[in-house]
Structure 1
């Protein structure tokens, strides 16, 4: 006796299960993280001290980690085509340093300094692509090296100090508010929507998924595999460069030593995002939900008086759990 099954968006459910139960199971599989996030927000509201309004607490949550959104989008793009990129932290650092360094220390117009920062980011992305796609060198080795080189050059460019002195009027570009939230939040939300549309509703997105699933089959299907892989590294570098620019402009400067702090949150958000919306796949919307799920947890721990080491433990544990769950889901999808 055989049991037939029905598959909906990578989730396989036996046919003998009632339609209502199938729908419920699919929703829970896709949006369990969202439900957990809502529960966490409610707990956070309950923990807020009496002199702090729940609205302000939630606004604080949504006003944080926008750089992680930019950086994680780049990682989502590279991971979705089967690549791995560690260099985003270094590219982010040197781009953030380049704007104030070129403008303040070397007298460049701010607009030209911004262009210079983007050019530096794209050059580093092109180096990654040339060595990994062109020469076939291991992506972990190359991007780890690029991260180190970019981070070192950031210290050189900044003369090993925190470079500041940008016009404070420019900060409104990043820190100005709309509907009570900083512009940075809306930039991140817009980028997530754009990347989600490209990956989910365009030929480029279908090619990315094909390449990520099986490069050999994608090549036989006529897809320009090398171009897709190169484009992923350039897009990741561009997003890291944009993140650096908006942060340095918003803060009036940047300390290159702080870039490494974004590594764990970024990877935790990317892998945890594979359990939401499109289970088993790297996807922008799932990453966005996961990023704010994580910061909600960190903020809640801080309200309980747990700071410092607990943040590293929380992000590290979240990364381990996320990678484990992602691995299991991807095996189910491939099966």
Structure 2
């Protein structure tokens, strides 16, 4: 007797969960295009979205990495502010050429990420508390470097080659959009196709099981924090090329959108777990929504209201998707019940 077939994994509900956020992006764009036909569906709007949302997208990808391992890095906003101030301080105040200044900041971001991972894993401090503490220390260093003021380039300005890191275009589109695509592709390859990514997911879903199978959970968590620090350093370089002024408090404005994008991204493409492509889609939803709201003439307070409300929705949806994924995995792993056996023939001597 053939065993009963199991239901296919990719059902209609799964497709809606995986690609619903992408469809929502298209619907939002269509709705705002119909409401604002003269201003929204234009090349200028597309260029503005791709350019202005590149740094939030990069920072959301940075925030995603510790979330993969079940941790959070609340220092990314402070790290972004310190990184962009350090680049401008080295170039403007110390007279460094911009390439070594950028490389130094990238190395510093990597070191800060490793420090965060070591404090969390080897210091046995909750990631919320640990990264909030290191972030406050970075904010103090930022204030010490700038003396509470701003770093402004002289009359000669910044080197054009440095500002072109953000201001230039390629194939008719802003270059920062290609940075986001390249970074998302690299993180997707690492997380979805390499053993490192599978180990990170195992560490995040079940650290005890990871220990039992011999995965060094502490080391891989430090790897995730190190990747975050490196990406934050890169985002700081781009922010310096964009702003061209060292503002010690600017990084804090990017903290909430980064976590909104990372958490909302775990409900798309691969529902139930953080993933690079889902994070990019989530940032696209936020970018289209905020741009449309801005062109409708909404008040300034609608932006934090939108981000905060979306964060609550993202956390709820991420938790629901994770629970659904676990239930689906448990159902697939449960062996099918054997078919009922045929009743034994009654004996000729059995009583009626």
TM-score scaled by length of structure 1: 0.90
Q: What's the offset of the Cα at 1:265?
A: 0.8
Match of 2:319 in 1: 327
Q: Give yes or no for the alignment of 1:109 onto 2:101.
A: no
Decide which of 206, 209, 222 is 1:230's aligned counterpart: 222
Please tell me whether the aligned partners of residues 170 and 250 of structure 1 are also in contact (alpha carbons under 8 angstroms): no
Higher mean C-alpha deviation, range 225-234 or range 169-178 = 169-178
User: Per-residue CA shift, 1:214-235, capped at 9, x if unaligned?
Assistant: 1111121121211101101111
Structure 2: distance between partners of 1:140 and 1:117: 24
Q: Give yes or no for the alignment of 1:43 onto 2:31.
A: yes
Q: What's the offset of the Cα at 1:182?
A: 1.4
- Where in structure 1 are there 5+ consecutive unaligned residues? 12-21
Decide which of 87, 101, 114 is 1:126's aligned counterpart: 114
Specify the SS of the correspondent of 1:329: helix
Let me know the Cα RMSD of the aligned residues. 1.8
- Where in structure 2 are there 5+ consecutive unaligned residues? 328-352
Higher mean C-alpha deviation, range 174-183 or range 232-241 = 174-183
* Bigger-Rg structure (1/2): 2
Structure 1: distance between partners of 2:20 and 2:160: 42
Match of 1:150 in 2: 138
Structure 2: distance between partners of 1:249 and 1:55: 23
Please tell me whether the aligned partners of residues 47 and 303 of structure 1 are also in contact (alpha carbons under 8 angstroms): no
**C-alpha distance 82-53 of structure 1, shift in aligned 2 (>3 A):** closer
Structure 1: distance between partners of 2:199 and 2:208: 13
Q: What's the offset of the Cα at 1:141?
A: 0.7
Decide which of 137, 142, 145 is 2:125's aligned counterpart: 137
Match of 2:345 in 1: none
Please tell me whether the aligned partners of residues 99 and 114 of structure 1 are also in contact (alpha carbons under 8 angstroms): yes
Q: Give yes or no for the alignment of 1:81 onto 2:82.
A: no
Match of 1:17 in 2: none
Q: What's the offset of the Cα at 1:5?
A: 5.0
How many residue pairs were aligned? 320
Specify the SS of the correspondent of 1:275: coil
Q: What's the offset of the Cα at 1:181?
A: 2.1
Structure 2: distance between partners of 1:61 and 1:68: 11
TM-score scaled by length of structure 2: 0.86
Please tell me whether the aligned partners of residues 48 and 57 of structure 1 are also in contact (alpha carbons under 8 angstroms): no
Normalized per residue, the structure richer in helix is: 1
Structure 2: distance between partners of 1:66 and 1:80: 21
Match of 1:6 in 2: 7
Query: How does 1:40-79 map onto structure 2 within 5 Å?
Result: 40-48=28-36, 50=38, 54-79=42-67
